[in-house]
Amino acid sequence: MKEAYITQLTEVEKALEENNGAFSDAIIERLSALVTEMKGMRISAEEYLKVMQLFFRKYEKEHNREGQHYCAIRMLQLQRYLKSRSSKHQKYELIIDREIPQTYEAYIYDKSRFYRETFRMLQQRLLLMTVILFIALFILLSLLLNQTNSVAFIEALFVALVSFLYSYIRMPKLYLRSQLEAAGKNVENVLLEFDFPIVSNQ
């Protein structure tokens, strides 16, 4: 049955196209039943992405931006992990593939645009906060603690850079996690129950 999942998902997608992209009750019922059947099963990356793609289209029709964000983030997370595979700990144990199908590369890039734009803004804010921290530390060290300007400059710069690098490294993971938790509140249980065994392995 596992090998038939992508075929069945493609059939749901075909039915959706024949219905002019509208999610009828019959299509939703068919998709929900299939996703429920897939819960906890080892599936291919393409099957996982197809599920997220179909639900993304559903939420797009419903004007559910949070639901769209959830699907886009989960696709992006899988793509990044399979591309890097740098972790010593095995993640996505239910995903049998080790790479993303090329046909999804452009799709994921397009649907995760909101993430790149928001993250770019967060990086700019982090840089601004780092500059403010440096100035505040320099003033504190040189004026209040009577450090020489050169020593105060080096110490303030060191602390500001360490703070920046620590936050810069942790920011993507923390941001995605917070976005995922917030968006998950606007996603139906059938998708969350399908996704939970995969998410819980991370």
Band (200; pLDDT cuts 50, 70, 90):
low
> What's the token pair of residue 46?
């393409």
Q: Which amino acid is at 62?
A: E
Same-domain check for residues 6 and 29: yes
Same-domain check for residues 133 and 104: no
Which range among 9-13, 31-35, 86-90, 140-144 shows the weakest confidence by mean pLDDT? 86-90
Same-domain check for residues 168 and 191: no
Residue 95 phi/psi, 5-degree rounding, is -95, 120
DSSP class per residue in 147-162: --HHHHHHHHHHHHHH
pLDDT tens figures, 125-141: 999 999 999 999 999 98
Same-domain check for residues 158 and 65: no
In this prediction the pTM is: 0.77
Task: Work out how many domains the chain is built from and give that number.
Answer: 2
Same-domain check for residues 57 and 74: yes
State the residue range of the domain holding 24. Answer: 2-112+187-199
Q: What local confidence, expressed as pLDDT, does residue 181 receive? A: 83
Q: What local confidence, expressed as pLDDT, does residue 32 receive? A: 95
DSSP H or E stretch at residue 11: helix 5-18
| Torsion angle (degrees, nearest 10) of CA 144, 145, 146, 151 | -120
Question: Does position 101 have pLDDT exceeding 90, yes or no?
Answer: no
pLDDT tens figures, 138-186: 999 888 877 888 888 999 999 999 999 988 888 877 877 887 888 888 8
Same-domain check for residues 96 and 160: no
Tell whether 182 is covered by a domain.
no
Tell whether 181 is covered by a domain.
no
